[in-house]
Structure 1
Amino acid sequence: MQARDRIGDRYELTYPIGRGGMGQVWAGYDERLDRPVAVKFLRQMEVPENERETAVKRFRREARAVARLDHPGVPVVHDLGEHGDDLFIVMQLVPGMMLADLVAEQERLSVGQAASIAAQVCTVLAAAHAGSLVHRDLKPQNLMITPAGVVKVLDFGVAALIGPAEASRLTATGHTLGTPAYIAPEQAAGDAVGPAADLYAVGCILFEMLVGHPPYEGKTALDMLRQHMHSSVPVVTEHRSDVPDDLAHLLFCLLAKGPADRPAAAAEVAELLLPFAVPLPGSAGRAQAGASGSIGGARGGEVAERARRRPPQDLAVLHARAQELAEEERFAQAAEVLEQALEQAMGGSEPPDPRVVPLRIDLANLRMLAGNYRQARRDFEALAHGLERSEGDPDLAQHCRQQADVCAAELGEEAQTSTDTSLG
């Protein structure tokens, strides 16, 4: 796969955001509906021939099962199809920050933030478990926090639809499903896995958010699996004194060795977490745009690469590409390309080079044409304020004010001149 490839006669690939044992995840655009998407591929030729038929069946089941899981914490599935020898799922592209990156950046989250994230995950699990879906591979790399503070559970897929008998066969051949740092004892032992295994993983993730590392750490995966099965349950208050006793008790129960000793249901855990939860700050979602799904290998492998930004491109090429897309009335995609061009042109300079003003006006116009009136209004108001402050072209400043008013009218809001923004 490469950038600009067209899939299913309507999806244009833009840049890769993940790779695993069986394929790739790409960011892309739906040309017909002018919206960003994630395209997840199963590359059949990369799957061992004796496992190919099973992998294809799983991939199709994943798309259908996740499409039925109607919950705001699960990325939307848009399409399923074939491209040459490959299968693909088209899903919602989720902007935000992976929980793994947030923990790496902050080391320890506040009690309120950690409780809020865990509670949101449990509401997703409650819906999934009601539909007989078990994730089996929850981990910070599969949790995305959007700029609005909504937690999205990613990769609700390949492992979720494998029955106990199939899981036992995989374990017998050394292919245990799940990630060692977050795997339930019964899962590590190759026993039947149910909703309680997901709750155990929530416990591991909650412990890591509060302490800065998972409850068990080993030099090898096998050592870690043995600790999950046989080591005593760690007490979070021994690592962090400000964790309330009731929350510490809940976490201890989530990490119980036996499934029957854990809380009975995800909804119950969410309810117990809510008293400790606080709204997530906007900074939690400020990082990269991430994929709505990752690639699970035929043996439950995890994604090898983190989501990353698109590589730099020539400014003139980007501008020409934006114009080409605008002529095709793909305004949202054109705006994204132009935004990338603008970032490169500005280079982080403060105040911005006046030569980028035409680019910013073009971007605001594209956002307005795409129906993103709120962001376009902010853009036009910032432009007008910056031009007035710098004694720039008064006619251009007035034009920007008028465009901002048009956006306000589309939003059903009164025109309101902003004075707290700048051209930067």
Structure 2
Amino acid sequence: MQARDRIGDRYELTYPIGRGGMGQVWAGYDERLDRPVAVKFLRQMEVPEDEREVAVKRFRREARVTARLDHPGVPVVHDLGEHGQDLYIVMQLVPGVVLADLIAEQEELPVGEVASIAAQICSVLAVAHDASLVHRDLKPQNVMITPSGVVKVLDFGVAALLGPAEASRLTATGHTLGTPAYIAPEQASGGAVGPGADLYALGCILFEMLAGKPPYEAKNAPDMLRRHMQSPVPIVTEHRSNVPDDLAHLLFCLLAKDPADRPASAAEMQQLLTPFLDERHRLGVVAIRTAEPAAPVRPPEAAFLPQRRSQPEVVEVRARARELAENERFVQAAEVLEHALRSEPDAEPLAGEIVALRLDLANLYMLAGDFRQARHAFEALARDLDQSEVEHDLAEECRQQAMVCEFELGEPSGTTERRAIH
């Protein structure tokens, strides 16, 4: 796979997001609907032949399972198909930060933020469990947090149906599904797996968010499984003294060896976490302190954007955006310009190349039909131009375009900021 490859005669790959032992995930672009997407591939030829059939069934199951979960914390599935010998799932592209990376960066997260993340995971699990699905591989690497603080739970590929269908689980002989550091004792021992296994994994994640490390550490996977089954439940306050006692007790219950000793359900667990939310997180806002929260990976256009751009480079960026817009790929064109502007946050806002990029971007928002975003962009540029007293005509043009956006939005005229004409 490489950038600009076309999949399913409508998806163009743009840049790689990640790679595993048997597949890849790419950011892509849906040419038909003018939107960014994520394309997840299963490379069948990279799967051992004796495991291929199970892997294919599991991959297809991920698409079906994720598609049936109607929840803002689950990425939307758009398509499932084949590309040569590979299978692919087209999903919502989720910007933000992987929880594992956030923990690695901060080690110990604030209690209110931890409670908010855990409560949102519980909300997803409650919907999954109500649909008779258990995730079975919940871990920080499968949790994304968007710039607005919304938690997304990824990778339902290991998910199993509860009830009678559990007898026909998609498990390769001799393999235990799940990740050792977050696996429930009953799952580690090969026993029946129910919603309690997801709650145990949540407990492991909650412990790691608070203490900066998982509840158990081991040299290898078999030893880790034994630790989950046999070692005493760790006390989080022995690793971080400022964790509230009630939260520490709740975490202790989540990590109980017997599923019957854990909270009764994900919905109940979500309620139990409520007292630990601070006022900011009660409103569903999680402060994600990252250098670049708007996108997880730089798109390929970044390759020709140094920290300080020269005029020829700006011309090249604008030309690329214009080419995309001419093909009615307005959203993708806007992303190119947005990244160009983000890559130099300390630049003078009225530098010639910055003004050109900002004006192009505002116009692209209009072409894409995002009149509210366009209005804000035109108004902001007009205000900055007013400060200089140089680009009077352009500032007035921006205000006129903002008024057009107001009319398109059906909002009363006169709300756009205007400067008195002398």
Q: Do both proteins adopt the same fold according to a TM-score greater than 0.5, normalized to the shorter chain?
A: yes
Structure 2 counterpart SS, 1:318:
helix
Structure 2 partner of 1:243: 243
Structure 1 partner of 2:271: 271
Q: Distance in 2 between matches of 1:411 and 1:217?
A: 56
1:379 is the counterpart of 2:368: no
Equivalent residue runs for 1:402-413 within 5 Å? 402-413=400-411
The TM-score normalised by the length of structure 2 is: 0.88
Structure 2 partner of 1:330: 329
1:321-353 deviation line (CA, Å, top 9, x unaligned): 211111111111111122233445x47434563
Q: 1:379: Cα distance to partner?
A: 1.6
Whether the 8 Å CA contact 2:137–2:158 is kept in 1: the answer is no
1:286-327 deviation line (CA, Å, top 9, x unaligned): 64566xxxxxxxxxxxxxxxx532242333543322111111
1:22 is the counterpart of 2:6: no
Whether the 8 Å CA contact 1:233–1:255 is kept in 2: the answer is yes
Bigger shift: residues 158-167 or 367-376: 158-167
Equivalent residue runs for 1:262-301 within 5 Å? 262-278=262-278, 279=281, 281=285, 283-284=287-288, 287-288=292-293
Q: 1:230: Cα distance to partner?
A: 1.4
Whether the 8 Å CA contact 1:44–1:52 is kept in 2: the answer is yes
1:357-387 deviation line (CA, Å, top 9, x unaligned): 1111001110122122332222212211111
Structure 1 counterpart SS, 2:133:
coil
Equivalent residue runs for 1:145-294 within 5 Å? 145-160=145-160, 163=166, 166=169, 169-170=172-173, 172=174, 175-278=175-278, 279=281, 281=285, 283-284=287-288, 287-288=292-293
Structure 2 partner of 1:368: 366
Structure 2 counterpart SS, 1:284:
coil
Q: Distance in 2 between matches of 1:350 and 1:105?
A: 30
Whether the 8 Å CA contact 1:142–1:153 is kept in 2: the answer is yes
1:309 is the counterpart of 2:307: no
Structure 1 partner of 2:95: 95
Give 1:149's aligned amino acid: G
Give 1:374's aligned amino acid: R
Q: 1:9: Cα distance to partner?
A: 0.9
Is the alpha carbon distance of 1:328 and 1:351 closer, same or farther for their aligned partners in structure 2, counting shifts above 3 Å?
closer
Q: Distance in 2 between matches of 1:313 and 1:240?
A: 42
Structure 1 partner of 2:56: 56
Whether the 8 Å CA contact 2:321–2:333 is kept in 1: the answer is yes
Is the alpha carbon distance of 1:192 and 1:78 closer, same or farther for their aligned partners in structure 2, counting shifts above 3 Å?
same
Q: 1:168: Cα distance to partner?
A: 6.4
1:249-288 deviation line (CA, Å, top 9, x unaligned): 2111100011222112111111111222242546427645
Is the alpha carbon distance of 1:147 and 1:407 closer, same or farther for their aligned partners in structure 2, counting shifts above 3 Å?
farther
Structure 1 partner of 2:113: 113
Give 2:18's aligned amino acid: G
Whether the 8 Å CA contact 1:97–1:285 is kept in 2: the answer is no
Segments of 4+ moved more than 6 angstroms: none
Aligned length: 399
Bigger shift: residues 118-127 or 45-54: 45-54
Give 2:194's aligned amino acid: G
Q: Distance in 1 between matches of 2:24 and 2:201?
A: 25
Structure 2 counterpart SS, 1:214:
coil
Structure 2 partner of 1:34: 34
Gap regions ≥5 residues in structure 1:
291-306, 420-424
Is the alpha carbon distance of 1:210 and 1:416 closer, same or farther for their aligned partners in structure 2, counting shifts above 3 Å?
farther
Q: Distance in 2 between matches of 1:68 and 1:176?
A: 25
1:399 is the counterpart of 2:397: yes
Structure 2 partner of 1:67: 67
Whether the 8 Å CA contact 1:26–1:39 is kept in 2: the answer is yes
Structure 1 counterpart SS, 2:207:
helix
Q: 1:356 aligns with which of 344, 347, 354?
A: 354
Bigger shift: residues 177-186 or 408-417: 408-417
Is the alpha carbon distance of 1:282 and 1:388 closer, same or farther for their aligned partners in structure 2, counting shifts above 3 Å?
farther
Q: 1:61: Cα distance to partner?
A: 1.9
Give 1:34's aligned amino acid: D
Whether the 8 Å CA contact 1:288–1:308 is kept in 2: the answer is no
Q: Distance in 2 between matches of 1:310 and 1:140?
A: 24
Q: Distance in 2 between matches of 1:130 and 1:393?
A: 59
Q: Distance in 2 between matches of 1:27 and 1:285?
A: 23
Gap regions ≥5 residues in structure 2:
305-312
Structure 2 counterpart SS, 1:225:
helix
Give 2:298's aligned amino acid: R
Q: Distance in 2 between matches of 1:238 and 1:409?
A: 60
Q: Distance in 2 between matches of 1:373 and 1:199?
A: 43
Whether the 8 Å CA contact 1:164–1:192 is kept in 2: the answer is no
Whether the 8 Å CA contact 2:14–2:28 is kept in 1: the answer is yes
Q: Distance in 1 between matches of 2:404 and 2:155?
A: 41
Give 1:117's aligned amino acid: I
